[in-house]
Structure 1
């Protein structure tokens, strides 16, 4: 399980273990918080295609799908 701190998500880099359409490396480009400090939006941008997708930030904790950094 990856250790992920919500306050340190922005600009973090991630590698998807099962690339789709040659999209393997991603960077977190946007994180929004509510009044209580909980993450309400997390967007990843693919490095190759620049495609942006919103994900549940807790999915990044799954080390079988995501690895921290670009590998």
Structure 2
């Protein structure tokens, strides 16, 4: 399980364990927080294609799907 600090999530780098469309490396490009610093929404941007997709930030905790950093 990946540990995530919501304050450091923006611009963090992630690697998809099962890449689709040759998109393996991602950056957290958009992050919306509420007053209590709880994450409301999160968007990842594929480095290769610049495609942006909204994801549930809790999915990043699953180490079978995501690896923190670029591997």
- Per-residue deviation, 1:41: 1.1
Runs of 4+ in 1 over 2 A off after TM superposition: none
TM-score normalised by L of structure 2: 0.95
- Per-residue deviation, 1:35: 2.4
Q: How many residues align?
A: 71
- Per-residue deviation, 1:38: 1.4
Listed as ranges, the gaps of 5+ residues in structure 2 are none
Q: Distance in 1 between matches of 2:37 and 2:13?
A: 22
What is the aligned partner in structure 2 of residue 51 from structure 1? 51
Once the two structures are superposed, residues 5-43 of structure 1 have per-residue CA deviations (whole angstroms, 9 ceiling, x without a partner) of: 111100100000000000000000111112232111111
Listed as ranges, the gaps of 5+ residues in structure 1 are none
TM-score normalised by L of structure 1: 0.95
Q: CA RMSD in A?
A: 0.7
